[in-house]
Amino acid sequence: MSSFLLILYIITSGLAFLGVVFYGARPSRSLSWLFVIVFMPFIGVIFYLLFGINRRKIKFFKLKQTYKRRLYDSNHHMANDHKPFEKFKSNKKEKLATLISNNNKYLPFDGNKVEVLQDGKSTFASIFEAIKEAKSFIHIQYYILEEGELLDEMFNLFKEKIAEGLEIRVMYDAIGSFDWRRKSIKRFKSIGVTICSSMPLRFGNFLFSFNYRNHRKIVVIDGVIGFTGGFNLTDKYIKSNTNMGIWEDTHVKIEGPAVESLHKVFIKDYYFASKEDILLDSKYLPKQEIKGNSIVQIVASGPDSDYAAIMQQYIMLINLAEDFICIANPYFIPSSQVLTALKIAALSGVRVKILLPEQSDSITARYCMRSYFEEIIAAGVEIYLKRDAFLHSKLILIDNEIVSVGSGNFDNRSFDHNFETNALIYDSVLAKEVHEVFITDCESSLRVNEAQFKERPIQDKFFEGLARFFSPLL
């Protein structure tokens, strides 16, 4: 009798498991973690401790670093001499700016000049040119710093600027820049560059530092020129070493009052990486001049934030759209809130286009992304797959009025676990330029056909469903 019950349990459990894999529409994070814990004994528990705990909500698991970073915000509120922009004519812009001001404390500022950079050669040419013209200091923060031509060129520029008496500070993420060799780091330090890890891997700090990565990409020159977006410092953007092709991304160069907000993000991270508070000096926060006509608002989010600011920003943009939404992202693994917002927008008549890479640097992420295709295409969303390069841009644009460029992906990691930075640009002229490039990319990409996609092999459906269980880890 006991054998019969055991066999019956195995069969029914197996059938139930296959049913969820093939037909589970919206598996929750709790179910995902239950799956990991049950089917990966011992290891699953460790994974949950490292990756699954929501430190915003579970007070017992809040760590000292989170508390200290929040206290820093309270004790070091640095005012910008340039008054924030307050006279939006558009109600949608006013609502979005108010949300961002409340959930991460950075205000919108007008008088900015913004240049959108969309390929590796022009982006790094612009950054290197700004470094050449630097007069006082250079502050750089990347998730990935990798050996190659770009890093060698930066070293040579740094050597020249150090000789001129400039201060240079570089931050990197310990996991993202894992391949950056110690010998190379020592080479930079030997010429006078100050280098530190924004999220070092240490035994006493392991639970906080391993999963909570600093994914930001920030360059600030003399406190008056800023760069941010999706580009890392790697040769993948200038030459192809894999079948995915050259990496394509989107970055912005900002001049004007919003640079101070971007620099404050760097200053806070630098303080916690180096324990030095010298960057609070007025030397590093010069008075900003009017440089252009763009209104820019910086969005910064991380596990130390009270709110998931990046996710809230994306949801608000989706909800505010009246005509169309354009999204480009390499890791489209939306939360249930974002997924619902997108479907509501499409079903209400807003045209939604999503541009994704056909190939991915993560096979699990690729299958997980595709597990969402059927339901959002059924709601009217258009999906395009870029085939001639690896799309790494993190871009969202609505109604040719507002565009966001930054480091935040559409996934759980960017929403809850990573330190991220986006630039929100309230500029119709610039939004139209970005829209034209986006449409051109879509026209040269493969649009996913609903009928054909439904006919994909059954093993693909299985791996998609399986990968979706692991979405909390991605």
Q: Is the Cα torsion angle 373, 394, 334, 315 positive or negative in sign? A: negative
Catalytic-role residue among 392, 411, 416, 417? 392
Q: Tell me which amino acid residue 43 is.
A: I
Listed in order, strand segments (DSSP E) in 322-472 are: 324-328, 351-357, 382-386, 390-391, 395-398, 402-406, 420-426, 446-447
Catalytic-role residue among 82, 217, 253, 353? 217
Q: Tell me which amino acid residue 42 is.
A: F
Residue 281 appears among annotated catalytic residues: no
**Burial label, 316 (beta-carbon count in 10 A; 0-12, 13-18, 19+):** buried
- In degrees and rounded to multiples of 5, residue 358 shows phi and psi of -70, -40
Asked if 308 and 122 touch (Cβ cutoff 8 Å), the reply is: no
Cross-strand pairs, 256: none
Residue 399 appears among annotated catalytic residues: yes
Asked if 208 and 67 touch (Cβ cutoff 8 Å), the reply is: no
**Burial label, 371 (beta-carbon count in 10 A; 0-12, 13-18, 19+):** buried
Residue 269 appears among annotated catalytic residues: no
Asked if 46 and 52 touch (Cβ cutoff 8 Å), the reply is: no
Residue 119 appears among annotated catalytic residues: no
Residue 323 appears among annotated catalytic residues: no
Strand 167-172 with 137-142, pairing: parallel
Catalytic-role residue among 82, 215, 251, 291? 215
Residue 251 appears among annotated catalytic residues: no
Q: How far apart are the two ends of the chain, measured CA to CA in Å?
A: 43
Catalytic-role residue among 173, 235, 399, 416? 399
Residues with catalytic roles = 215, 217, 222, 392, 394, 399
